[in-house]
Amino acid sequence: MAAAIKPLVAGNWKMNGLRASEGEFRKMVEGSIAGASGDCDLMICPPATLLASLSAIAADAPFSVGAQDCHVAQKGAHTGDLSAEMLKDAGAAAVIVGHSERRADHGETDEVVAAKAQAAWRAELLAIICVGETEAERKAGEAVAVVARQIAGSVPDGATAENTVIAYEPVWAIGTGLTPTPGDVADIHKSVREELVQRFGAEGESMRILYGGSVKPSNAVELLTVANVNGALVGGASLKAEDFLGITAAYS
């Protein structure tokens, strides 16, 4: 049941991070080894340029590294793209697919997101599938319906608690400093859980549902203790070890 789900706190560095950022990541790894991270799984998703070096740093630590996107194909004439197999080869354990910035900036549809999730599974990567409503959709009272539609279209058949994580990120709260109330989060996560259980049965009960959107140390406990919230997908606050570990400490 959901109560027994081990939380995951994953950091999405987006288009941030150079080789100099390895020192900050090393602090995160050292903090996790020292027990400063609480009882949760830990992951950082850096730019692809840092996947290999960060995975090497985390090799002997309770910390994994993920990617931020992948191409649907395994290989081929797709200049500038990276396959899930390439990401796996570079040390990734997971890949984010369907982030709202990919949907908005690159026009990714639910169908494309589902295909990328299947590509992740093909490479034996965990697929972190993102869903979330815009401010206009929330104001129109459509948040639950929009997220349900995205889950139906973006999560392929065959999803399990082992190969899939759902990340709910209200688009209007990403990087804005705005956050939904715990009640708002509870409503959406409850609806997501119901959708997953209806479609996947016991696997849906065990699948992790992360909350993302302006999560920081000061609000982590309030947000991460909401029912059906099984961790966080953290943006800006994951760039600094002190902030990231401060969020994971919510599970101490």
Q: Mark whether 99 is an active-site residue.
A: yes
Q: Please give the Cα distance from 228 to 195 (Å, whole number).
A: 12
Maximum separation of any 2 CA atoms in the chain, in Å? 48
Q: What angle in degrees, to the nearest 10, is found between the helix axes of 241-248 and 22-33? A: 30
| Whether 149 contacts 98, CB under 8 Å | no
Closest listed residue to residue 29, CA positions, set 65, 63, 5? 63
CA pair distance 71, 117, nearest whole angstrom: 10
Could you tell me which of 87, 54, 86 has the C-alpha nearest to residue 68? 87
Catalytic residue among 99, 108, 137, 189: 99
Q: Which among 101, 108, 137, 169 is annotated as catalytic? A: 169
Angstrom distances, CA of residue 175 to CA of 66, 172, 231, 238: 20, 8, 18, 12
For 109-169, the DSSP string reads -HHHHHHHHHHHHHTT-EEEEEE---HHHHHTT-HHHHHHHHHHHHS-TT--TTTEEEEE-
78 among known catalytic residues:
no
Distance CA 236, CA 223 (A): 16
DSSP bridge pairs for 211: 168, 232
Q: Report phi then psi at 128, rounded to 5.
A: -100, 100
Catalytic residues: 99, 169
